[in-house]
Structure 1
Amino acid sequence: MKTPEILFLCTGNSCRSILAEATFNALAGPAMHATSAGSHPTGYVHPRSISLLEREGFRTEGLRSKSWEDLKETPDIVITVCAGAAGETCPAYLGPAIRTHWGVEDPAKATGTEAQIEAAFDTAYHILRYRIEALLQLPVAELLEKDPAKLRQELERIGTLQP
């Protein structure tokens, strides 16, 4: 079976999709691979994303804000992470991939005290990690090959989960 390629897609590709990419790859091992991209990348990874990932023990080398136009592989699954409730417009990936939405508030837009901003990053990370852990419980490669409709249904269910 082919190694499933996951794309975490956002608009800016500086926070949520980066957090998801690094967390997914650290937890998934060689069975699956994720990348992240943005429809309008900021061109930088938010420093708080880097410090959070390092604090969690994840590697951050090579993480960069990139455009979906620069993807080397066609993804099998595209997970958008923009928060519809916040009025963000999530990009629509135009490839043949299974698409789902895991809306998470953008911590880069958080305001308030240092502690409140840090809490926004922690919240986004914990939501994404919880959903990624649920995804990793699925036989993704098998479902991708034999029952993509079931996989899409499971991905949509996971997108509603909260830690």
Structure 2
Amino acid sequence: MKVLILCTGNSCRSQMAHGFLQSFDPGLTVCSAGTNASGKLSSKAVEVMKEAGIDISHHTSDSVDKYLNDQWDYVITVCGGANETCPAFLGKVKHRLHIGFDDPSHATGTDEFIWSEFIRVRDEIKEAFYNLYIHEIKPQL
């Protein structure tokens, strides 16, 4: 089973979702990409995932172009707010899903508030992708 997770920058939300989904089933092929890939991971995303027991520090921030010629069972967009545009994937895919999350890297305020936003979004991603795995992906394996 091949799953591609998309967002704009491929530095935060898609990386967290990638890490969680891969942790639920190491047998899955999980990749993540962005329409405007930043080329680096958010250090806060790496840190908040490490706190949850998952190391994403080895992930790379890749352009969606890298994956357009591959076939995918699922392509999942994770962009959130109304001011964001979800990427369109024009490649070969069986199931297209959207599971939106706020971008914690846009949070402003105190360091404590920003950190709490990363934790909140991380936990929302974990729950949503676990439910997806249990109810949709695992039954097909």
| TM-score (norm: length of structure 2) | 0.90
> 2:110 corresponds to which residue?
113
In the other structure, the counterpart of 2:49 is 53
Residue correspondence of structure 1 range 132-147 to structure 2 within 5 A: 132-138=129-135, 140=137, 143=140
Percent of aligned positions that are identical? 32
Distance 2:86 2:104 in 1: 16
Tell me, which stretches of 5 or more residues in structure 1 are unaligned?
A: 145-163
What amino acid does structure 1 have at the position aligned with 2:21? F
Separation in 2, partners of 1:103, 1:47: 21
Q: Aligned residue for 1:156? A: none
Matching of residues 14-163 of structure 1 within 5 Å:
14-30=11-27, 32-71=28-67, 73-83=70-80, 85-97=81-93, 98-138=95-135, 140=137, 143=140
Work out whether residues 12 and 42 of structure 1, in 8 Å CA contact, stay in contact via their aligned partners in 2. Answer: yes
Q: SS in structure 2 opposite 1:138?
A: helix
Instruction: Give distance in 2, aligned partners of 1:40 and 1:13.
Output: 8
Q: Which amino acid aligns with 2:88?
A: A
Amino acid at match of 1:66: D
Is the CA contact (8 Å cut-off) linking 1:86 and 1:105 kept in structure 2? no
CA–CA distance in structure 2, aligned partners of residues 104 and 140 of structure 1: 20
* CA distance in 1: counterparts of 2:29 and 2:121, whole angstroms: 21
Which has the larger share of strand? 2
Question: Greater helix percent: which structure?
Answer: 1
Secondary structure of residue in 1 paired with 2:135: coil
> Structure 1 length as normaliser, TM-score?
0.78
Which ranges in structure 2 are unaligned for 5 or more consecutive residues?
Answer: none
Distance 1:24 1:95, change over 3 A: same
Moved more, 91-100 or 134-143: 134-143
The one-letter code sitting in structure 2 at the alignment partner of 1:55 is E
- Partners of 1:125 and 1:141 lie apart in 2 by 22
Between the two proteins, the alignment pairs up a number of residues equal to 139
